Amino acid sequence: MAQDDVARDDAARDDAAAAARPGLVGQLVRFALVGGFSAVVDLSVYSLGLHLGLSTYVARALSFVVGTTTAYALNRRWAFQVEGGARRAGGFALLYGTTFFLILGVNALALVVLPESSWKITLAWAISQGLGTAWNFVMLRLVVFRH
């Protein structure tokens, strides 16, 4: 009987935790806020690195790592409210590594396809960033931070 009581308590606790998690819209809003904050962290570290005399490549690599680590911690804990672990951290790193190459390819394609104009580079960046952000949200929700 005691084992059945423990199983019922565990199931009730899991149900309560699931009910407390934000739904799709809540996760999307939190994901966007985390992304904005992580971008500020990324840019700040990049700027600081350049100010301290780091090469652009080293400063950018360092800022990417710090910004991505910030995004992982806040998305896991706040936006998606899931437990951590090596598997989730590895999945996150694989997703963001894949997304990095996805946005590079989309950006390059957009630069070839878009007509010449003063906004071409900015629009190519925006298209690639938008696609990468949408891809990350879907994959984080359905795969990496799945409940």
pLDDT at 78: 93
pLDDT of residue 6: 56
- Most distant CA pair in the chain: distance in Å? 74
Host domain of residue 136:
85-146
Query: Among the three residues 55, 82, 109, which one is the final residue of a domain in this structure?
Result: 82
- Residues 58 and 93 reside in one and the same domain: no
Q: Are residues 33 and 57 both part of a single domain?
A: yes
Instruction: Assess whether 78 and 99 both reside in one domain.
Output: no
122 and 54 assigned to the same domain: no
Q: Tell whether 98 and 119 lie within a shared domain.
A: yes
Residues 75 and 89 reside in one and the same domain:
no
The C-alpha atoms of residue 24 and residue 137 are separated, in whole angstroms, by 10
38, 62, 82 - which closes a domain: 82
Q: Let me know whether 91 and 78 are in one domain.
A: no
In a shared domain, residues 31 and 59: yes
C-alpha 75: how far from its chain's center? 7
Beta carbons of 49 and 63 less than 8 angstroms apart: yes
pLDDT of 15 over the 60 cut: no
Q: Which of 36, 52, 82 is the last residue of a domain?
A: 82
Q: Averaged over 67-75, what is the pLDDT? A: 92
Q: How many domains does the chain have?
A: 2
Region 121-136 average pLDDT: 89
Q: Do 78 and 22 reside in the same domain of the chain?
A: yes
Structure confidence at residue 3 as a pLDDT band (50, 70, 90)? low
- pLDDT score at 17: 55
Instruction: Please indicate, yes or no, whether residues 72 and 11 belong to a single structural domain of this protein.
Output: yes
**63 and 12 share one domain:** yes
Q: Examine the domain organization and report whether 91 and 139 are in the same domain.
A: yes
- Give the pLDDT mean for 116-133: 90
